[in-house]
Structure 1
Amino acid sequence: MWRRRKFGNKSQAGLEDLRAQRRERETTLRKARREQQLISKRLLRDLTDDEETLEENVQLPLSEQQVLQLVKDVHHGSADKIKSLITLRQSLRNKDVQLMFLRAEGSMRILIGLFTCQFANIQMEALRCLHELSNSSDPAVCKACLPATSYLLTYLSVSSSEFTELCLYTLGNLIVESEAARNQLLLQGIIPAFALCIQSPHMTVLEATGYALSQLLQAKEAPEKIVPVVLQSGLIQDILRLLFCSLEEGFGMMVEFAWCLHYIVSSQVNNILLISQGVLSKLMDLLIKFADVVTRTSIPGIELLICPIVRCLGNVLVEVDSLGNKIQIQDGRLLVALFVLMQQFQKEHAFMVKECLWTLNNLTADDPVVCSAVLHLHLMPVLLQLFSHSKDVIVLVITVLCNIADFGPAYCQRLQEKDILSSVTRLLGSEDVLVTIRCLDLLNIFFRYCPEAERDILVHCVLQVPEIHKDHPEVQQRLETIQHYCKPKIEDGNGGLLP
């Protein structure tokens, strides 16, 4: 990842190109997160072309002898120690040079010594060398950096935002290496250190804090060892506060903390506690806010911020019943917001439709008030439009319709008035057996509550089921149930019973 200096000789056009490259890289990273939890490393480098600082006769990568000489130069105080550190840092981008550096006697001790010296410019260059090493894909290289972690944590409290930011990204890279490394950082107090950093007025520091925290929260041992500590630290309220920042000023930071909240909620460590702390109402307010934003302006990548918020809400809703607080979510604005988001994203970001439908499914399950709102707020046409999407979307739409119909005759009647039956029967010819099964589920609910439903629709729906599905056990069971609700039995053209 690149950051912009406030000084340098680059043209404005060059800076814009590099900013665009950074946005593309971060967008790729965050897109991957929408499908799975993603642990990754980031490299923070200046946008200015620091290769200009290399002497013309220095060739990269360096030989082992040159690396040994650099170690001697930075240790014993060469004429220009900063230039030697810069050369070393640039050379450490090469994996072979990293290994040569580690083989040099006392190299890491020397580097950590420079990192902890009293000269700020030398400290910064030594930290940049550590950062390059932390980005290595070789576990041995990163393991060699672990003795620096206590100093990295200590220096998070310094006044330089640039220095703090680089410390955080270096820690974020080291977090992913091993459970032993994470245990060491937990014992050294990384959570309290994050709690301090999250109070920073600098957006770059806040974004780096969110990145490092998200790395920690994705660890396999997070539910047992990490999330409980985070819940006790008071970080949740700070995360919620930051999610209401200005999109123009803090977009990257908000994305990082939105994913942090998602990892905490999806761990299911203590979602009831989160609800009691107001997380549910805050999530609802955020979605209502973002739905309004996307109708008024176009913000590149905003779906990557909204996605974890929708997921958080869907996960939290699973716990709402146990608290008896359904009344909290019976807000028509939230329903409208979900439908607005589906309409806005269905063409360019279809994955968001599935996210919203999954949350809508949790909203409508066992809640007649929410189901009534879907019917009375004239939201049904949007759901019907989604029948042209992927099979996964179709299955989720029909599941929501089942939730509504299952509340009885009055709800089924309203769905019939909106021509749901004819839309669903047309889907019975789908090649996907799960779509067929869900359609039959909905029709079974209809005929259970509305035995007077038109018999020709019933016959049509049975005949529509593809032959390849009729031997499927779940399809057979549902067809038999439909025939049970129909008296007399449905007969085929030759007078026999339909299978």
Structure 2
Amino acid sequence: MWNRRQGSLRPVGCGVEELRRRRREREAALRKARREQQLVSKRLLRDDTPEEAESGCVDLILGEAEIQQFLWSAQRGTEEKEREGALASLRRGLQCPETQQTFIRLEGSMRTLVGLLTSNQALLQLEAARCLHELSHSEQSAVAEACLPATSYLLTYLSGHSSDFISPHQTVLEALGYALSQLLQAKEAPEMIIPSILGSTLPQHMLQLLHPGPKLNPGVAVEFAWCLHYIICSQVNNVLLITHGALATLGLLLLDLAGAVQRSEGAGLELLVCPVLRCLSNLLTEPAVDAVGGQMELRDERVVASLFILLQFFLQKQPSLLPEGLWLLNNLTANSPSFCTSLLSLDLIEPLLQLLPVSNVVSVLVLTVLCNVAEKGPAYCCHLWPGPLLSSLLDMLAFSDTEVVGQSLELLQLLFLYRPETAQAFLQQSGLQALKRHEEEAQLQDRVQALQQTALRG
């Protein structure tokens, strides 16, 4: 998802500030594209029995009369088991597109379903919530739109809990959190849903659910972390979330997740760490983050150390999450000399270089982080060379991927500008020959030529 970097680096006649401006413009465009891609994530939350999973939905297509009967039994059944059974049958039927269409055409069906969430019976609440999230992840636009009027009731229900927002029925909260996360991906969400959420007490409640400690419920936390992620991606009012302490809460949760890895308690960790990393990454791109003091809340070496603990865990167990962690590291170091200093003082350059061979996407992000460090000036470049960095960059120039090579050229240019001795070492290690293989590549020609000139002048 990071393969859209464009533009050329023309260092001849360009100052450092101009180079930095161009990098920031490219990254801004990249972040926008990334947020748009992240707004689609249809995740199913089902625990059907094997028998249900095998049966499929062919035999569960329900007609109007059957749906009405199930809703009537759920509302007015004389026995608790009868009411729960009726909703369970309806929920299984709502896994079928045909039943979903029939359900939304019935007058009052959605209102009845949401009303059942107010029941004082936990299992009945849970089945009603499951019905709602079966509807909310529908691929049919008409079904998703029919769910929108239910949002206000859902918000009222979720916001109506105690100040601790700790319901006795965690499975209900988990299912409702899932349903809300799906509704937040609707194209109407920025205008019709998110303003209502931000105008309620729900954001504070969400953050309480994500605060590490003995009350943290992993399943519930996962669902509301995704809710928070979609709200942040929509950029309706992220400053409000920052003033509510979102950065501080998510930073503490990141530390807690890294601690769980160190204690070998990382099973299923990726389910929570992915939305947490995305939330932090996207909040850090807010222009007003410093103005409201948000950045100060994360200026802690422990954040960088914890992130590297997670990166090592991903490398061994979940390589697909490496880009998420590296994107956060990029956003931490982009405008913060203090985070770059932490990276150097904790001797994390070599562990970062060890990630280069994983994939082209990872390589580009690693090199981008190193560019963030190098552009901070001569004192920072002194920590980057001498060392293994130059030989790693020469290896990167052997790649055919233009993104990897382009980012390598950018990093070399910064090193040559701030640490001229690097240029001589580059020449001595056959650097010009490494550049020659890219002289005919249209996207790289200008940067190759500029780097050759800088190296020879140095």
Q: What TM-score, normalized to structure 2?
A: 0.82
Which residue of the partner structure matches residue 461 of structure 1? Answer: 431
Partner in structure 2 of residue 180 of structure 1: 145
Separation (CA, whole Å) in 2 of partners of 1:267 and 1:136: 30
* Higher mean displacement: 311-320 or 448-457: 448-457
Aligned equivalent of 1:240? 207
**Higher RCO structure, 1 or 2 (CA under 8 Å, sep 6+):** 2
1:221-236 to 2 correspondences below 5 Å: 221-236=188-203
**Match of 1:265?**
232
Cα distance between partner residues in 2 of 1:204 and 1:227 = 24
Contact 1:168 1:209 in 2 (8 A): yes
Identity %: 34
SS in 1 for 2:352: helix
Alignment check: 8 A CA contact 1:431 1:466 kept? no
Give the one of 98, 118, 122 matched to 1:157.
118
Shift of 1:195: 2.4
Once residues 40 and 341 of structure 1 are traced to their aligned partners in structure 2, the CA distance between those partners, rounded to angstroms, is 23
On the 8 A contact 1:134/1:174 being kept in 2, the answer is: yes
Give the Cα–Cα distance (whole angstroms) in 1 for the partners of residues 216 and 255 of structure 2.
20
**What is the rounded CA distance, in whole Å, between the counterparts of 1:176 and 1:352 in structure 2?**
24
The alpha-carbon distance between structure 1 residues 195 and 371, as it changes in their structure 2 partners (threshold 3 A), is same
Within 1, Cα distance between the matches of 2:405 and 2:137? Answer: 43
In 2, the alpha carbon distance for the partners of 1:221 and 1:124 equals 33
Q: Does 1:115 align with 2:74?
A: yes
Counterparts of 1:245 and 1:284, CA distance in 2: 10
Q: Deviations over 1:35-74 (max 9, x none)?
A: 8732355555568x89xxxxxxxxxxxxxxxxxxxxxxxx
**Aligned residue among 328, 332, 336 for 2:301:** 332
Residue 395 of structure 1, CA deviation: 0.8
State the distance in 2 between where 1:218 and 1:205 align: 21
In structure 1, the gaps of 5 or more residues are 1-33, 51-89, 490-499
How many residue pairs get aligned? The number is: 409
Residues 358 and 93 (structure 1), Cα distance of their counterparts in 2 relative to 1, 3 Å cut: closer
State the secondary structure of the residue aligned to 1:387.
coil
State the 1:109 CA deviation.
3.4
Matches within 5 A, 1:122-141: 122-138=82-98, 139-141=100-102
Q: Deviations over 1:443-474 (max 9, x none)?
A: 1111122234342414622311363x322233
Q: Deviations over 1:333-386 (max 9, x none)?
A: 001011111112202211222111100000110211111111111111210111
Contact persistence 2:435–2:448 (CA under 8 A): no
- The aligned amino acid for 2:151 is L
Query: Which residue number corresponds to residue 271 of structure 2?
Result: 304
Amino acid at match of 1:132: R
> Could you tell me how far 1:98 is from its partner in structure 2?
2.1
Asked whether the 8 Å contact 1:108–1:144 carries over to 2, the reply is no
Q: After TM superposition, list the pairs within 5 Å mapping 1:72-471 onto structure 2.
A: 94-95=57-58, 98=61, 101-102=63-64, 106-119=65-78, 120-138=80-98, 139-144=100-105, 147-177=108-138, 178-186=143-151, 189-196=153-160, 199-244=166-211, 250-319=217-286, 321-324=288-291, 325=293, 326-458=295-427, 460-465=430-435, 467=437, 469-471=438-440
DSSP-derived class of the 1:417 partner: coil
- For structure 2, list consecutive stretches of 5 or more residues without a partner in the other structure: 1-36
Give the whole-Å Cα distance in 2 for the aligned partners of 1:485 and 1:328.
40
Asked if 1 retains the 8 angstrom alpha-carbon contact of 2:137 and 2:182, the reply is yes
CA distance in 1 between counterparts of 2:214 and 2:353 reads: 33
C-alpha distance in 1 between matches for 2:77 and 2:356: 66
The CA deviation string for residues 122-181 of structure 1, in whole angstroms up to 9 with x for no partner, is 322222232122221224234246632212222222221111111111111223443431
Q: Deviations over 1:8-60 (max 9, x none)?
A: xxxxxxxxxxxxxxxxxxxxxxxxxx98732355555568x89xxxxxxxxxx
SS at match of 1:309: helix
Paired residue type of 1:282: T
Aligned to 1:495: none
Give me the whole-angstrom Cα distance separating, in 2, the residues matched to 1:307 and 1:464.
37
| TM-fit CA distance, 1:96 | 5.3
Partner letter of residue 204 of structure 1? T
Q: Report the counterpart of residue 23 of structure 1 in structure 2.
A: none
SS in 1 for 2:303: helix
| Aligned mates of 2:402, 2:359 — CA distance in 1 | 13
**In 2, Cα distance between equivalents of 1:422 and 1:45:** 53
Change over 3 Å in CA distance of 1:122–1:412 after alignment to 2 = same
Amino acid across the alignment from 1:134: L
Kindly indicate whether the alpha-carbon contact (under 8 Å) linking 1:41 and 1:135 is maintained by their aligned counterparts in 2. Answer: no
Moved more, 160-169 or 226-235: 226-235
The amino acid that maps onto 1:407 is K
CA 1:487–1:385: 2 relative to 1, 3 Å: closer
Code of the aligned partner of 1:170: C
Shift of 1:477: 1.1
Letter paired with 2:83: Q
- 2:452 maps to 483
Normalising by structure 1, we get a TM-score of: 0.75
Please give the secondary structure, in 1, of the residue aligned with 2:444: helix
Larger Rg: 1
Kindly indicate whether the alpha-carbon contact (under 8 Å) linking 1:291 and 1:337 is maintained by their aligned counterparts in 2.
Answer: yes
Report what 2:4 is aligned to. Answer: none
Cα separation, partners in 2 of 1:255 and 1:405, compared to 1, 3 Å: same
C-alpha distance in 2 between matches for 1:299 and 1:247: 17
Q: CA deviation at 1:248?
A: 9.9
Distance 1:194 1:46, change over 3 A: farther
